[in-house]
Amino acid sequence: MYRCLGMAALGISGRQSELIELALSNGFKGLDLDLLDFAATVKSSDLSKARRFIDSAKLKLGSFELPFDWQTDEATYRVGLAQLPELAALAAELGCRQAEATVLPGSDERPLHQNFDFYRRRLLEIAGILEPLGVKLAVGFEPAVERRTGYAFEFIYDFDTLSMLLSMAPSKALCFVIDSWNIVAGGGSLEIIKRLPVEKVGVVYLADAVEDLPAKQYPRSNRLLPGETGLIDNQGLLTWLAEIGYTGPIYPAPEPATLAGQRREAIVKAAGEKLDALWKAAGLNAAGKLAPAASKP
């Protein structure tokens, strides 16, 4: 596994060359992919020119968000779905074989049982396009209390219910977004994910909590850089991921609003330092594997 710089996760932006320099200067081995932006660059130039900075930096590409609104009305969904094969093929050609999608925590149109069927059908359809390309879809949920309010019908905002949905949509292309803060904020324990086989671990996000609040009452403002307080056992999570042989990206992912007013360089530096400290505490080497224990004299 490898440390990955996520622009959306940290609330930063910039030109590709600038972000690559920030990643390399702060110990990151990968970047997330803005697939729509990259596809536009390819069309305006060509693939070799669009990827030259990434290739020269020898950085891995982590993951990309599904490049269309997959939870909208049927007509709009169909338009986006028709564009997915070409875009996903481009990502696969770049070596980025992990897409992401977050299930909305509620609906104004569909009660719970209808929403399960709605998501099951769409996830299977999307997975059917991605699987032949060798691309997986990691699915996550949003547990923050303020994100769940205002819907007529509640839906998924914890890991167990998401597991139920994915069990209803059996596909080798479907797996989980493992977000340490989301699991705890949704009322779960990091121990619950340790029953997962490694192929079901898609993308990993790490964050810490400001304070230990009651389950399912966490606001986004309670989300900090990993290792900030130690209330969430990100160190233990990293050790377990190494033990099962996970090889994908690890993103530091605080709530960007908690970093407001800081310069981009300072944000990336702090994220890199926190992740590096967790890396070492978890007993990992630079390649993200468990380092051999030092021999006793």
Rounded Cα–Cα distance for residues 176 and 136 (Å): 10
With 70 as the cut, is the pLDDT of residue 293 above it? no
Mean pLDDT in residue range 42-62: 91
Per-residue pLDDT reduced to its tens digit, 99-120: 999 999 999 999 999 999 999 9
pLDDT at 297: 41
Measure Cα distances from 43 to 36, 47, 48, 50, 226 in Å.
11, 8, 11, 9, 38
With 60 as the cut, is the pLDDT of residue 294 above it? no
Per-residue pLDDT reduced to its tens digit, 59-79: 999 999 999 999 999 999 999
**H-helix segments, the chain:** 7-10, 16-25, 35-44, 47-50, 52-57, 74-94, 112-130, 159-167, 180-185, 234-244, 264-281
Top pLDDT among 48 and 100 is at 100
pLDDT-derived band at 45, boundaries 50, 70, 90: confident
With 50 as the cut, is the pLDDT of residue 296 above it? no
**Per-chain mean pLDDT for the chain:** 95
Residue 264 contacts residue 19 (beta carbons within 8 Å) = no
The CATH number, out of the four listed (3.20.20.150, 1.10.3720.10, 2.60.40.10, 3.40.50.300), of the domain defined by the range 2-281? 3.20.20.150
